[in-house]
Structure 1
């Protein structure tokens, strides 16, 4: 058990975090997407501590974070031409690219796969930590496995207090959902996990952008998760969530007919259904606002003791696809289409 400290993001605190990482420990760190649980990606023992802290299955691959493009070369055996183009357009930023891994990357880091996901974050604190460490950092979201991802240092502390030595507080995550994860197939890009970098954005690189069926559907039994976040249930609060895919009018009618005194309405705006007499919680009226607030809202459902939640369905294009993907897993694929 650790006495977990929350560190500020000043230089002395960053140096303290770096020293912990260099000694093989795990540190909670901010990124522009969500907070990560960082450790030396090339140190098997350090990476194992990530899995232990999260209670994460060992077949769930980790994303490796770098601060300079030349840090990729020891990690992979091949860099596709499309990867260079994507890096030029979107790095540093919320895009993870999957490439064939080299033998230098431990299997525990790649979840036993022959590939590795690599990202260059734009958050200045994350970049400072990686630069000072001098090695790539494996960093999945800094939450207990399966629970909503953390977008504040406080969220990390709630999940990781006693499990890790320190958390660097870099403020509220700007994006709010994890990075877009892509792989390459000849002249095509396949989206394995949607994020802030959308299919529409990627079509500026190549017109051939494929949305993997695992984005909107369940993985088949025995199927390999090629990206984090592809498991059946993920990002979930304790409440039972059902997504209502409908117009506002049909949503209101469904709530009237099916809700009880313990139901919480998860809506875009307070006035969507406050007159119905049920508890409401809002997660934003625009796609970007929903991405920014989704995980904070899911955690708030636990704080208010929600048992049953009817959630309005977000858009399914642009960054809305990322919001829907996360909400779908939080709801364990329970969707009512009206």
Structure 2
């Protein structure tokens, strides 16, 4: 199926109609591209799991147009969820709340909770509005890639993953570049399950109290398995000193090696190298594109400098740790 411009109202309407029929559509969000199905159609949601090769007990995030639409899926809408939604929606924040019986059963991965997000990307918002007009209240949408692999941040990345089997709305390169922060609001105090652009400090400032800590009672959440976001080439994450020593010990030429470093001068003999931006948001924006580019250029091993131990970098550090786990 062709890639269609997300700025074309006719293409957005056609995508909404396809979703209403139970088809899958890839859509842009401000974080990454998502593989969407109507959340109230278990058979359609099952097609997401099949297309990605994703375990059926690994829950999906349901995308909605606003907090009112989100509450349709919630058995209870906690005060913490309301405060966070008011502060950060539309935007890169997913709220996990108690799930209403019979709502988003397949997307929930067998849990009695559901993750909800209101995206800010204009194409995603236009699509959600058209979906509402044809009776679709929310879209289950994980990242539009094979399970465990690098998330796509352009329409071309989606085509790399799935060929021409999907209808794809092209909304340009994703602004944020990594997935949403996820907060468990089923308990008090809420718990940050996955870091993203919205940091722990941002969340605590709105809530007026510290977040809790994750434990064995925390629900499963999208993108939190130990190994995730992985390029084809093995990735090794190192501190600056360790990376410097490894580079000095390299055999001449560093054949097949790719290096992504923020603070070090990488030998020019290493053909595949990129400078990591010094700004956390810029690094997040390009991270998945850089890793995918290394794969496309035939890297056999990727060495990455550990990001700074600062709150703004938590989302990037989280993705790199999971990408390095095999």
TM-score by length of 1: 0.89
Kindly report structure 1 stretches of 4+ aligned residues shifted beyond 4 Å: none
Q: Deviations over 1:221-274 (max 9, x none)?
A: xx9861111112111111111111235xx53223212564332211127xx323
Which sits farther off after the overlay, 43-52 or 258-267?
258-267
Contact 1:146–1:236 at 8 Å: present in 2 too? yes
Q: What residue in structure 1 maps to residue 203 of structure 2?
A: 202
> Displacement of 1:276 after TM fit?
5.4
Say whether residues 1:305 and 2:298 are aligned partners.
yes
Contact 1:37–1:140 at 8 Å: present in 2 too? yes
Query: How far apart, in 1, do the equivalents of 2:52 and 2:234 lie?
Result: 22
Q: What residue in structure 2 maps to residue 22 of structure 1?
A: 20
> Displacement of 1:70 after TM fit?
1.1
Say whether residues 1:159 and 2:161 are aligned partners.
yes
Q: Structure 1: 5+ residue runs without aligned partners? A: 214-219, 334-338
Query: How far apart, in 1, do the equivalents of 2:64 and 2:38 lie?
Result: 11
- Out of 1, 5, 8, the residue aligned to residue 2 of structure 2 is 5
Contact 1:187–1:208 at 8 Å: present in 2 too? no
Q: What residue in structure 1 maps to residue 54 of structure 2?
A: 56
- Out of 310, 321, 325, the residue aligned to residue 317 of structure 1 is 310
Q: What residue in structure 2 maps to residue 192 of structure 1?
A: 193
Say whether residues 1:244 and 2:238 are aligned partners.
yes
Say whether residues 1:104 and 2:102 are aligned partners.
yes
Query: How far apart, in 1, do the equivalents of 2:151 and 2:187 lie?
Result: 33
Question: The residue matched to 1:107 in structure 2 has which SS?
Answer: coil
Contact 2:195–2:315 at 8 Å: present in 1 too? yes
Query: How far apart, in 1, do the equivalents of 2:4 and 2:191 lie?
Result: 38
Q: Structure 2: 5+ residue runs without aligned partners? A: none
Question: The residue matched to 1:17 in structure 2 has which SS?
Answer: helix
Cα–Cα, structure 1 residues 148 and 225, in superposed 2: closer, same or farther, change >3 Å?
Answer: farther
Q: What residue in structure 2 maps to residue 274 of structure 1?
A: 266
Q: What residue in structure 1 maps to residue 280 of structure 2?
A: 287
Cα–Cα, structure 1 residues 287 and 161, in superposed 2: closer, same or farther, change >3 Å?
Answer: same
Query: How far apart, in 1, do the equivalents of 2:28 and 2:245 lie?
Result: 41
Say whether residues 1:232 and 2:226 are aligned partners.
yes
